[in-house]
Amino acid sequence: MDIGSYANINELSEIAKANNIEVSRLRGYRLMKDEEPVTEDMIKDMSNTILADWFRSYLGREYIPGIGVCCGFNNKKEKKYFKMIDKIEYLDWSKIHGKMRKDLKFAKKFIAKETKDQWNMWNKYCGQKVLYIHAKQGKTNWSDTTHLDYKDKDWYLDSCDDSYDSCYCDIYATIKE
């Protein structure tokens, strides 16, 4: 969940209303003209963080989207598969073999693509007169609506699932002054 956009709901809901933008399960807004682009290094770091959380859940630690991992994890496993370099945690690929390595490589490829797609879309609309809408309508949400249901709206520009928690999505809408 995007806490920054959540803080803008009251402030930007009038802009959404004036542009006939109504999204169910809304979690926040941002004006893209006020946002900064994300660098490739930042995208890579986000992708690695998501992969580390995915791997911990793969090992048996409970994963809570948006919060990360907690509960029921053997610390010896974490020490075996992760290493600290300059107070930054990295996966130790030299300790990962067989089916586990194959699964992790597949997850890395998928997560890297999802993360890159999400943030490239963000960069595409940075500095423009566009309203970013964060909603709980991603591909793994429990309702029967998704962000793709808005494609026929006149204000709709683009949308994608959140790479960190696919219950959420990012929708981009065109707005008038």
Report the Cα–Cα distance between both ends of the chain, in Å, rounded.
Answer: 27
Chain length of the chain: 177
Residue 29, pLDDT score: 95
Residue 63, pLDDT score: 53
Question: Per-domain residue ranges for the chain?
Answer: 3-36+126-174, 40-96
Residue 135, pLDDT score: 94
pLDDT in tens, 10-44: 999 999 999 999 999 999 999 999 999 999 999 99
Which portions of the chain are predicted below pLDDT 50?
A: 66, 68, 72-73
CA-to-CA distance for 93 and 71, rounded, in angstroms?
24
CA-to-CA distance for 112 and 164, rounded, in angstroms?
11
Residue 33, pLDDT score: 94
Residue 160, pLDDT score: 94
Helix (H) or strand (E) holding 3: helix 3-6
Letter for the amino acid at 103?
D
pTM here? 0.83
